[in-house]
A = this chain, B = another copy of it.
Amino acid sequence: MDNTIYLDNNATTPVAPEVREAMMPFLDRLYGNPSSIHTFGGQVKAHVDKARQRLADLVGCHPTEIIFTSCGTESDNTAITSALDCYPERRHLITTRVEHPGVKNLCQALGQGGRGRPLYRVTEIPVDAEGLLDVAAFEDALDDSTAVVSVMWANNETGVLFPVETVGALCRDRGVLFHTDAIQAVGKIPMDLADLPIDMLSLSGHKLHAPKGIGALYVRRGTRFSPHIIGGHQESNRRGGTESVPLIVALGKAAELAKQNLHKENTEVAALRDRLENDLLEKAPDAHVNGSREQRLPNTTNISFEYVEGEAILLMLDQHGICASSGSACTTGSLEPSHVLRAMGVPFTAAHGSIRFSLSIYNTREEIDKVLEVVPPIIQRLRQISPFGHDKAPAKSKA
Contacts and interface: CB of A to CB of B under 8 A. Distances in A.
Interface string A233-271: 110000011111111000000000000000000000000
A241 to B, nearest CB: 4
Interface of A: 1-2, 4, 6, 8, 11-15, 20, 23, 26-33, 35-41, 69-74, 76-77, 81, 84-85, 88, 100-102, 105-106, 109, 114-118, 204, 206, 211-215, 226, 228-234, 240-247, 311, 314-315, 317-318, 321, 323-326, 328-334
Contacts of A321: 40
Nearest to A81: B116
B116 A88 contact: yes
A27 B226 CA distance: 33
A8 B27 contact: no
A106 B239 CA distance: 12
Contacts of A233: 101, 330-334
Contacts of A211: 26-27, 31, 244-247
Nearest to A248: B213
13 contacts: A1-B30, A1-B40, A2-B29, A11-B41, A12-B242, A35-B333, A36-B325, A70-B71, A70-B74, A73-B231, A76-B231, A77-B231, A204-B242
Contacts of A106: 230-231
Given A14-B31, A77-B231, A105-B240, 6 more contacts: A1-B40, A11-B35, A12-B32, A101-B231, A213-B247, A244-B247
Contacts of A14: 31
A15 B28 contact: yes
Given A15-B28, A116-B84, A329 B36 contact: yes
Contacts of A114: 85, 88
B71 A244 contact: yes
A323 B38 contact: yes
Given A12-B31, A241-B102, A332 B231 contact: no
A228 B71 CA distance: 13
A130 to B, nearest CB: 26
Contacts of A215: 241
B70 A244 contact: yes
B4 A101 contact: no
B214 A213 contact: yes
A243 B330 CA distance: 10
Contacts of A226: 115-116
A39 B318 contact: yes
Contacts of A330: 35, 231-234, 240, 242
A1 B15 contact: no
A73 B232 contact: yes
